[in-house]
Amino acid sequence: MRGTLIYIGQRLVLIAITTVLVSSIVFVLLHQIPGNAFLNETRQSPQTLAAELHHYGLDLPLQQQYLNWVQGVLRGDLGESLVNRGVKITPLLIRETTVSATVGFFALLVTVGLGLILGVIAALRQNTWVDYAASSTAVVGYSIPSFVIAIFGLLIFGHYLYIWTQGTFFYQPGWGKIEQIPVPALALGLPYASYVARLTRASMLETIRTDYVRTAWAKGLKARVVVMRHALRNALIPVVTILGPLVTGIITGSVVIENIFGIPGLGKEFITSILARDYNIVIGVFTFYAALVGLANLAVDVIYPVLDPRIRY
Amino acid sequence: MPGGTLNAVDGISFDVDRGEIVGIVGESGSGKTMTALSLLRLIPEPGKITSGKILYGEQDVVQMSDEEIREFRGNEVAMIFQDPMTSLNPVLRVGFQVEEAMAAHNRFTRQQARDRVIPMLQRVRIPAAKDRVRDYPHQFSGGMRQRAMIAMGVSNEPSLLIADEPTTALDVTVQASIIELLRDISRELRAAVILITHNMALVASLCNRVIVMYAGRIVEEGPTRAIFKNPQHPYTWSLLRSMPRVDETTRERLISIKGLPPDLGKMPPGCKFHPRCKFRVDRCLTEEPPLAEVDPGQDARCWVLMKNVQNPEAIAQT
Ligand SMILES: Nc1ncnc2c1ncn2[C@@H]1O[C@H](COP(=O)(O)OP(=O)(O)OP(=O)(O)O)[C@@H](O)[C@H]1O
Ligand code: SF4
Ligand SMILES: [Mg+2]
């Protein structure tokens, strides 16, 4: 237990370092872009421009700007929006992250839940039509990128089923109603669900042939217990291994999905801020993504030892 | 296996009485494990029991419903497998795996099952059992795991215990103590034991009766004493000839007879042993001999029988 806590502590430090590193790289690269965020503002007197630059500290030498920025990050202050003066970035992004996290969580639920169910059923009914159906569904799901699923989702639920959905899914202003979640979560999670299903099937086929599962049968355990407690528990171990990359994939995928569905999350902000050349927000978004990917992977790694007692940190 | 049936084990029938230890011996691949698994209807896919009966008391294991066979497994008949390193579930605590075996049947309540775990582990002589119940299998040595398997096997006080080469995978230093434990515990429970082994010396010292298997068939069976004194099947005779001396009981020397046992897909016609048999006659090539009584209680599957061979040593040398 103590070992685990130390391990988590070490990982958190590493995540912090990575986050600062990523945001620094983005900071430096963005400041290499010639000109600045205000150059395109046409009706702007040289005085206002100078005042703007001064307000954001953009008139300082780059080294100084960088130091100010790092100090801010360490205090958890990502500065102010360049476009909407006075809007603090940190609280804005935290709010947007909760939105993204909600969608991402449900996408993960789709991925793992659906993937496991399909995989287990396919393995238990190996080489029957059930297996073929589950496996083909998986292949199809895997070969369709999530943005295609998203567009079909829009078409079906936003257009064909408009009478039923009343457009609640996408068109109404404001976000956060429970009925707005399933379609984007499905679009985001489905391709990965197929991946999990295929892995689970292979893994289950392996474990149901192991000696300890034979022991479980020989003990006279009920079929459900043999499958769930003995075969599936062990089959989950390799599945958890890919959960890290999977979560990262969902986070990246959410950029596209949020923009298609107009979900006011981090992914939407990412594109919006780039188009608006709100560089401070762009850097902030990268910083958040770096931290998010790190934390999600840490969460996955903490599940390991719970599942497999042979692993100890 | 494209179509058709491969008979891994064919026409096996034998009976075991309470308190008796029966040894099954034979080369690797002779169907010993298959026979043992079929007693519990645990033949791995796509194998199955194509015909025949497995009688246990009045019940036919082949005819049992799924629920009946589940109640039967681990309760009436328990099995201990060859490799304790892989036979325990790596992600579940050892104590829980023993508890689960008891809770699966209606002999004990959940609470009784829980309370019996430590006494069971003590009974199979696991040191510091109280502290070790919460260990995972990887924290146990091979010998301790096999003890845990035995605890699991006998926890429901079955009337038949099948031990499939229970010591082959273990360190020589612990083999003897495991065998001793098996013998003692089966005596206490008055359970019958089927001991599958390669070790003829072990059979000589432990078993009341022996079954010798070859190519999925019983080729000879009878009281240990009779078989060791007067083996009638040439295969049994050769096995005993290649046997290590009695003072080497802990050595599990592999049985070695010239040639290889037949491939399941290419069984020879006639007597399955004839390609390797020094004593064969013409009839052996075409007709398979039945298992027939050669002495009261002793059966052999051979047209010739060793008692009819003059000076077998000389012939075997050729
Ligand atoms: N899963 C399987 N599928 C097909 N054939 C199998 C399978 N398992 C075993 N066999 C075959 O069945 C025959 C009997 O094997 P079995 O394992 O019963 O032999 P054994 O006497 O226990 O050998 P060993 O001493 O090596 O344990 C062998 O020829 C083996 O190749
Ligand atoms: S039947 Fe013939 S071939 Fe078979 S064991 Fe007897 S003598 Fe040898
Ligand atoms: Mg075997």
Cα distance from B71 to chain A (closest Cα, Å)?
6
What residue's CA is closest to ligand 1, atom 22?
A: B33
Pocket (CB within 6 angstroms of ligand 2): B 233-234, 271, 273-274, 277, 279-280, 284, 289, 302-304
- DSSP annotation of B264 reads G
Whether this prediction's pTM lies above 0.80 is answered by: yes
Nearest-by-CA chain B residue for A126:
B45
**B41, B69 Cβ separation under 8 angstroms:** yes
pLDDT-based confidence at residue B11 (cuts at 50, 70, 90): low
pLDDT for residue B248 is more than 60: no
Residues lining ligand 1, Cβ inside 6 A? B 8, 26, 28-34, 44, 47, 264
- Contact yes or no for B101 and A309 at CB 8 A: no
Q: How much is the pLDDT for B118?
A: 96
Q: What percent of chain B has pLDDT over 70?
A: 86
Distance of alpha carbon B77 from alpha carbon B100, whole angstroms: 16
Cβ contacts of A178 within 8 Å, gap of 6 or more? none
pLDDT band for position B198 (50/70/90)? confident
- Check residue A58 and give its pLDDT: 79
Query: Measured in angstroms, how far is the CA atom of residue B82 from the centroid of ligand 1?
Result: 13
Across all residues in chain B, what is the average pLDDT? 85
pLDDT of residue A37: 64
Which ligand 1 atom is at minimum distance from the Cα of B261? Answer: 29
Choosing among A205, A217, A219, A306, which should be mutated to test the B contact, i.e. which has the most B CBs within 10 A? A219
Which of B71, B73, B91 lies at the smallest CB-CB distance from A234?
B91
Q: Which of A134-138, B19-23, B55-59 has the lowest mean pLDDT?
A: B55-59
Q: With an 8 Å Cβ cutoff, are A233 and B79 in contact?
A: no
For A49-105, what is each residue's pLDDT tens digit? Answer: 788 778 887 788 888 888 888 888 888 888 888 888 888 999 999 999 998 998 999
Selecting from A222, A237, A308 the residue whose C-beta is nearest the C-beta of B70 gives: A222
Kindly determine whether residue B136 and residue A309, on different chains, have CB atoms separated by under 8 Å.
Answer: yes
- The residues on A that touch B, with CB distances below 8 Å, are 209-223, 225, 229-230, 233-234, 237, 307-310
- Which one, of A154, A145, A162, A161, lies nearest residue A183 by Cα? A154
Average pLDDT over residues A20-41: 78
With 0-12 / 13-18 / 19 or more C-beta atoms within 10 angstroms meaning exposed / middle / buried, residue A256 is: middle
What is residue A43's predicted lDDT score, i.e. its pLDDT? 63
Q: B150: which 2 tokens? A: 């035995």
A230/B138 CB distance under 8 A: no
Among the partner residues B73, B74, B87, nearest to A212 by beta-carbon distance: B87
CA B49 to chain centre: 18
pLDDT > 70? residue B245: no
Residue B54 clears pLDDT 80, i.e. is over it: no
Provide the token pair at B89. 């579930």
- The residue whose CA has the least distance to atom 7 of ligand 2 is B280
Residue of A nearest to B86 (CA): A211
Which B residues in the span 150-189 are in contact with A, Cβ-Cβ below 8 Å?
A: 152
Cβ distance of A222 and B104 shorter than 8 Å: yes
What is the b/e burial string over B180-192, where b = at least 16 CB atoms within 10 angstroms of the residue's CB?
A: ebbeebbeebebb
Rounded to the nearest angstrom, the distance between the alpha carbon of A269 and the centre of ligand 1 is 63
